[in-house]
Structure 1
Amino acid sequence: MEFSERLRALGTKISNQAEAIGTEEATKNAFVMPFISSILGYDVFDPIEVVPEFTADVGTKRGEKIDYAVMRDSEVQILIECKTSRSALTLENASQLYRYFGVTNARIAALTNGIIWQFYTDLDSPNRMDSKPFLVLDLSDIDDVLIPEIQKLSKDDFNLESIISTAEELKYVGALKREIAAQFREPSDEFVRFVATRVYDGSFTQRVREQFSVLVAKAAKQFLTDQVNDRLKTALGAGTPVPLSQTQSDASVDSGSVAEHDLDRDTEIETTLEELEGYQIVKAIACAEVKPQRVTHRDSKSYFAVLLDDNNRKPIARLHFNSARQKYLGLLDEDKNETRHAVDSLEEIYNFAENIREAVRRYQ
């Protein structure tokens, strides 16, 4: 299994088990140790590689312990401090991590609740842990951009120089992305004024501020939706004309299959953007079990089918979105008997994630 696949598999496991984990010890056993073992590649049961309850006297502090110290060549490389999976991560709750960083050879420190991993180094002042992480990994929502950087921390690919050289850019780009996301979710007064004064020429009164607070939030959401829709259209080739030369080439290769396809095709079928968005959600869920390219779709008059390997004998789900009154997600059992589930929004498809994955597993 490739590194990215292992990372996503752990992310899926964490999403499924998060509600059942309530203590720090359970968080370590279910989330943190599997990350150290299957993702970073260190043997958590070998004290030469991973030291649990690592102890080092720091000034007047005696006998304090850090949860894990990852070792390489008998020296500490990564310090890991754990909190419960339901805890918010703040440096105020990780004072040991801050102190230990300065008295060991470690250049990397991690603060985690098993779901979110915050990685720190000493960019601002040598041998003194920064107050802000250079990399934040959310295993419930993995950012593909970060996967190569996480891999640099693994045992087989550990590259401290490369990590440190890219840490500053990662630190500020990541912080900027989080700040932009926060402003899009709930625009601050400063952001509202910054944007509004570029489109509104009048005096920026309290009434105008209140009016534009609503408008800026609405415009931000519509902008993100437009960006997602454009990506979907590009990924699925919607609206992309087929070059004449390609059509002629396909016909010359296998005119029989083309003719058969034309007989089955109903020219009155109209695939909607909402169906494509629903397909992308089902595909994202199914990708926990199979490679993305194996999940395909076919549209018909009665429903929009999501299939494995473009095989109508391997249905994953059906989207019944043609009715203006109620949308349904169709799920099939082992005997291909379909049960329709009413969904009021596309996000509700995620409520059936395990059913979708189970459908995929049946064909493996």
Structure 2
Amino acid sequence: MADFLEQIATLSTRSKVAERQALTEEATKTAVVLPFLQALGFDVFNLEEVMPEFIADVGMKKGEKVDFAIKIDGKIAMLVEAKPINSKLGETQFSQLFRYFHVTEARLAILTNGREAWFFSDTDEPNKMDKRPFFKFDFQNYDNLQVQELARFQKGCFAIESIIEAASNLKYTRAAASYLKGQLDAPDDDFIRLIGRQIHDGSITKAVAEQLKPAIQAALDEIIRDRIQDKLSITLRGDPPAAKNEPAPEVEEPELETTDEEREGFMIVRAIAAKIAPIERITMRDAKSYCAILMDDNNRRPVCRLYFNSPTTKNIGLFSADKVETKIRVDKPSDLYKHTGAIEAAIQSYLGS
């Protein structure tokens, strides 16, 4: 696996160079796509394994060509369609691949522009390519778990049935995760009503839904925090004590990137606090899903939270006197000034303690 990780790291560098220099589809194939197929263990110079410009006649259309047909034991295992690295992968891009899929024995198809690779199968209907990829790999932005998923497609361990099973699981897991993440950021009315019917007696009117929304958001956040804490507790309890004179293994901390908007939000909260408290007491502690603004760097003294990581929505979390959090949608960090009263009230509650 270490060798494969190294190969993918090299491929990542190639992709970045190609993004600056490769202007055509052919250049993208040479710079990234062929090295990618090599990394998966296929001999790109052997026509028994990698067949370029594979002809796949589709109905009345004769001479339709797929960029590459990948063969294992003489049978077509995957189809690969390449696009220029400066193009965006999308519906118009894979209509060709969709047509090719059902006239070959392949059950896997890859659409790539040298920056991303999208993997398709026929999990919805046999011999008909799904409209959505079950797995996407970004050559320039990935983690080790994604590389492990990618390793499934290596020639040496290629097993189509297990790949299809994993594809089905991945597709539904990621669809559910995407939906739930959206609800965590900004729950819609249907989601509020779904939960509301379990916790409220009577009709869920618009007014009732608005009343329940902050409580449901706070409950979701609490569940996530509790699950994280439970996992941490299990890990700590399960670790055997270090042997005598044996140094404890280093724990790799997850990388966090504090964004410019989070820093701006932090400075705005400090500016608000300056009226009533020394600004040195207002601190910032970044986390994966939010950036916490605390009093005295104490997570029991939350001032507010900045939920600025979503590419589509921004929220701030404000705390009541009993530390119940309410999320409020904002457009930009300066909108924090609109909530000066709530921020000051949170800070004031800690000044006497």
Alignment TM-score > 0.5, same fold? yes
Partner residue in 1 for 2:255:
281
Alignment of 1:33-52 (within 5 A): 33-38=34-39, 40-52=40-52
SS of 2:71's equivalent?
strand
Spell out, residue by residue over 1:191-249, the C-alpha distance to the aligned partner (whole angstroms, 9 max, x if none).
222123323335422233345445545554554455446555665x4xx6999xx69x7
In structure 1, distance between residues paired with 2:191 and 2:21: 38
**Structure 1 pair 242–122 and aligned structure 2 pair: CA distance change class (3 A):** closer
In structure 1, distance between residues paired with 2:220 and 2:21: 35
Partner residue in 1 for 2:177:
177
1:209 equivalenced with 2:183 (yes/no): no
**Structure 1 pair 166–11 and aligned structure 2 pair: CA distance change class (3 A):** same
User: Which range moved further: 85-94 or 168-177?
Assistant: 85-94
Partner residue in 2 for 1:71:
71
**Structure 1 pair 16–136 and aligned structure 2 pair: CA distance change class (3 A):** closer
For residue 33 of structure 2, what is the amino acid of its counterpart?
A: V
Q: CA deviation at 1:153?
A: 1.9
**Structure 1 pair 188–6 and aligned structure 2 pair: CA distance change class (3 A):** farther
In structure 2, distance between residues paired with 1:27 and 1:216: 48
Spell out, residue by residue over 1:44-100, the C-alpha distance to the aligned partner (whole angstroms, 9 max, x if none).
344443233333222222343323221234432211223455655444431211111
TM-score, length of structure 2 as denominator length: 0.57
Partner residue in 1 for 2:108:
108
In structure 2, distance between residues paired with 1:214 and 1:182: 15
SS of 2:35's equivalent?
helix
In structure 1, distance between residues paired with 2:89 and 2:217: 27
1:195 equivalenced with 2:195 (yes/no): yes
Alignment of 1:80-159 (within 5 A): 80-83=80-83, 89-139=89-139, 140-142=141-143, 144=145, 149-159=149-159
- Asked whether the 8 Å contact 2:79–2:106 carries over to 1, the reply is yes
SS of 2:156's equivalent?
coil
**Structure 1 pair 200–15 and aligned structure 2 pair: CA distance change class (3 A):** farther
In structure 1, distance between residues paired with 2:14 and 2:209: 42
For residue 185 of structure 1, what is the amino acid of its counterpart?
A: D
Q: CA deviation at 1:123?
A: 3.5
- Asked whether the 8 Å contact 1:51–1:70 carries over to 2, the reply is yes
Q: CA deviation at 1:35?
A: 2.5
Partner residue in 2 for 1:55:
55
- Asked whether the 8 Å contact 2:11–2:35 carries over to 1, the reply is no
For residue 156 of structure 2, what is the amino acid of its counterpart?
A: D
SS of 1:204's equivalent?
coil
For residue 183 of structure 1, what is the amino acid of its counterpart?
A: Q
In structure 2, distance between residues paired with 1:14 and 1:196: 51
- Asked whether the 8 Å contact 2:116–2:137 carries over to 1, the reply is yes
SS of 2:157's equivalent?
coil
How many residues in Structure 1 have an aligned counterpart in Structure 2?
Answer: 264
In structure 2, distance between residues paired with 1:173 and 1:154: 23
**Structure 1 pair 221–53 and aligned structure 2 pair: CA distance change class (3 A):** farther
Spell out, residue by residue over 1:112-138, the C-alpha distance to the aligned partner (whole angstroms, 9 max, x if none).
344443322234433222334344445
For residue 66 of structure 1, what is the amino acid of its counterpart?
A: V
Partner residue in 2 for 1:287:
none
Partner residue in 2 for 1:295:
none
TM-score, length of structure 1 as denominator length: 0.55
For residue 129 of structure 1, what is the amino acid of its counterpart?
A: M
- Asked whether the 8 Å contact 1:22–1:85 carries over to 2, the reply is yes
Structure 2's unaligned 5+ residue stretches are 258-279, 287-305, 310-353
**Structure 1 pair 119–3 and aligned structure 2 pair: CA distance change class (3 A):** farther
In structure 2, distance between residues paired with 1:112 and 1:6: 20
Spell out, residue by residue over 1:18-44, the C-alpha distance to the aligned partner (whole angstroms, 9 max, x if none).
974785636545543333222x12233
User: Which range moved further: 76-85 or 225-234?
Assistant: 225-234
Structure 1's unaligned 5+ residue stretches are 258-275, 284-322, 330-344, 349-364
In structure 1, distance between residues paired with 2:18 and 2:233: 34
- Asked whether the 8 Å contact 2:51–2:70 carries over to 1, the reply is yes
SS of 2:180's equivalent?
helix
SS of 1:94's equivalent?
helix
Q: CA RMSD in A?
A: 4.5
In structure 2, distance between residues paired with 1:143 and 1:198: 39
In structure 1, distance between residues paired with 2:88 and 2:191: 26
